[in-house]
Amino acid sequence: MSAIDPGLYPDVFAKGGLADAIVSVARRRGADVGKPVGPATAAGADTGTAVTESARGTLRVSLAAESRTFFLGVHERRFVWAEGATEELDPLVDAIAAWRGGMAVDDFAARFPFMTPGRLARAREAGDVVRAQWDWLRTAEVHAGERDLLTAFHEDGRFDGLFPVLTHGVLRLGFGGGDPAARAITVAPEDGAYRVTDTGVPDPGEVAASAPDAVAAAARRLTGG
């Protein structure tokens, strides 16, 4: 159970917790915020956090400890739709209601300037998140060292429908549109070469000497050959 500072959050403290404070403001403003709850902890409900659901992910509100700040994040599994912070409950409640009501990402960002859409939020809304992710990976300076590998896979054309993620030099090509639990082909650097594996196949994979060889090995995984 989180301790709520009555000096910073007298309105939240008076209602006994963040979820109840949000419901109270929503009722006064005629806003639909669903059914916010405080997540369960070993010590009971977390009164300093509130979670409510929408058709586009979970909305989670938490409190800053050093200043009056309400943090709002909209996440769908690991996908970030939007994040931001405000000092007041009224705009926070309005933002929750607007998101749950289906407000478009651009309209949401314009109406609530304290909220920042995730990097792929607009692309996901348009149904083009895979292409947008490929475009970003191939141009981001942070991944300049892996550009040859990324270009080889992208230009091949057979992997355009797989969601690419690059972490610590390992390329993951997901079949589930970014779902980390979905089957994926992985390409990991190994002693100057690449090890290509398929998370859906219980074997050690195969070693490819070059980026083109890694593409060929991954293509065999696509077809089961």
Give mean pLDDT, residues 159-174: 94
The C-alpha atoms of residue 62 and residue 148 are separated, in whole angstroms, by: 42
Domain spans of the chain, in order of start: 10-125, 129-223
- pLDDT of res. 2: 64
Listed in sequence order, the residues at least 6 apart from 192 whose beta carbon sits closer than 8 Å to its beta carbon are none
* Global confidence as pTM: 0.77
- pLDDT of res. 41: 63
pLDDT digits (tens, 9 = 90+) for 67-111: 999 999 999 887 899 999 999 999 999 999 999 999 999 999 999
Strand partners, 189: 194
- pLDDT of res. 202: 87
